[in-house]
Amino acid sequence: MSICFTAKARNLLLMACLSFFAVCKPSFAAAQPAVDEANPLMDVMWDYMREQFIRDEPWQYSARVQIILPEFAEDSTQVPVMVRHQIADARRLILFADLNPIQHIATYEVDAGSLPDIGLQFRVQQATPVHALVQDASGLWHVGRNYVDASGGGCTAPKKEAASDDWASNLGQIEGRLFTRNSHRLKVQVSHPMDTGLVEGVPAFWLNEITLTDQSATALGRLNLSAPVSANPRLTFSFAKESAPESLEGYQLHLRDNDGNDFTSPVYQLNGKEVM
């Protein structure tokens, strides 16, 4: 191929594009996070996605919502993400990846107590912005954003997810543990194929509803997952100790998939013992 752009031509084009973005830049006054100001893909879908998820509800960018992501996806089927926030009175969290074919990753709604920091792994199809929207009790959405590049390190072949042959035998099996050193941190791994339904001949089959309760099945919050969440999800819920309801003695998970299968975890007791 003999197409070869010179550096000069490239710079000219660069200038043209920069001015294009300068003109088109949205003019809202809210403070934008400093990250990736120059990343042209960051806002490509934002207006559209926002409309889908929060319609015309009030929002602002906020440094108090942080999305921890790697700079690049070493394994595009298992990209780690954690959303941390310092929003008082947070009621709801929506997490999505703008350039995934199924953008929605997870939504958490608070029933009692506080909105935990939430960690999980998800699939990406290409480099994509990731947005986390946290709504406070006044209805205002606080928006954090980040970006993950999809090209991995190179010593691994592009990963083909193995067909989940043996899922039936351990479907819904839950390994979990409550860590109480600095926070109430519940970490679980659930055996589930999390099929997206985008593969021909493999129907969508994923855990979609998870209810987090206290020891007596009183709901603390509900987590809705979408199919981009990685197979055999490992979920972390981290609650500030001081925001725990007074009656709290332990945490329990009630899970359901889109096929109607129900799974229940043991109660993870704050004193460290598990009770069935």
Partner 1 sequence: MKSMPIKNRLLSQLRLTLRFWLERLHSGVVLVGILFFWMLSGVSFAATPYEIKPVNIAPDTWVVMGKNEPFTPENGGMIANIGIILTEQETLVFDTGPSRAFAEALSVWIKEQGGGPIRYVLNSHAHPDHFLGNQVFPQNRTYSAEPTQRMIVEQGPDLAENLYRMVGAAMKGTRSVAPGVVLKEGVSKIVLGSGSSEHQLEVRLLDGHSHGDLILLDRTTGVLFAGDLVFYNRALTTPHAVLNDWLAALDQLEGLSHSLLVPGHGPVHQKGEGIKQTRDYLKWLDKSFKQGAEEGWSMAEMLNWPLNPAFKSVVMQRYEFTRSLSHWYPQYEENALKQ
**Binding positions for partner 1, rule: CB under 8 A:** 1, 3-5, 10-11, 13-14, 17, 20-21, 24, 40-41, 44-45, 48, 68-72, 74-75, 77-78, 80-82, 99-101, 119-121, 125-126, 151-163, 165, 175-177, 179, 181, 185, 187-189, 196, 198-200, 202, 234, 236
Positive or negative torsion for Cα 157, 153, 155, 120: negative
The closest alpha carbon to 254, from 84, 79, 111, belongs to: 111
- Output the smallest distance, CB 67 to partner 1, in A: 9
For residue 192, give the DSSP letter. -
Q: Which is nearer to partner 1, 28 or 179 (CB)?
A: 179
Q: Which is nearer to partner 1, 86 or 140 (CB)?
A: 86
- Output the smallest distance, CB 112 to partner 1, in A: 22
For residue 271, give the DSSP letter. T
**Token code pair at residue 161:** 């997810």
- Output the smallest distance, CB 163 to partner 1, in A: 4
User: Is the CB of residue 99 less than 8 Å from the CB of residue 127?
Assistant: yes
For residue 74, give the DSSP letter. S
Q: Which is nearer to partner 1, 4 or 34 (CB)?
A: 4
Q: Which is nearer to partner 1, 211 or 265 (CB)?
A: 265
Q: Which is nearer to partner 1, 213 or 230 (CB)?
A: 230
- Output the smallest distance, CB 70 to partner 1, in A: 5
User: Is the CB of residue 73 less than 8 Å from the CB of residue 152?
Assistant: yes
Instruction: Give ∠ CA 158-75-154 in degrees, rounded to 5.
Output: 55
As a whole number of angstroms, the distance between CA 150 and CA 81 comes to: 14
As a whole number of angstroms, the distance between CA 69 and CA 196 comes to: 22
Q: Phi and psi dihedrals of 46, rounded to 5?
A: -55, -50
Q: Which is nearer to partner 1, 14 or 217 (CB)?
A: 14
- Output the smallest distance, CB 205 to partner 1, in A: 13
- Output the smallest distance, CB 138 to partner 1, in A: 29
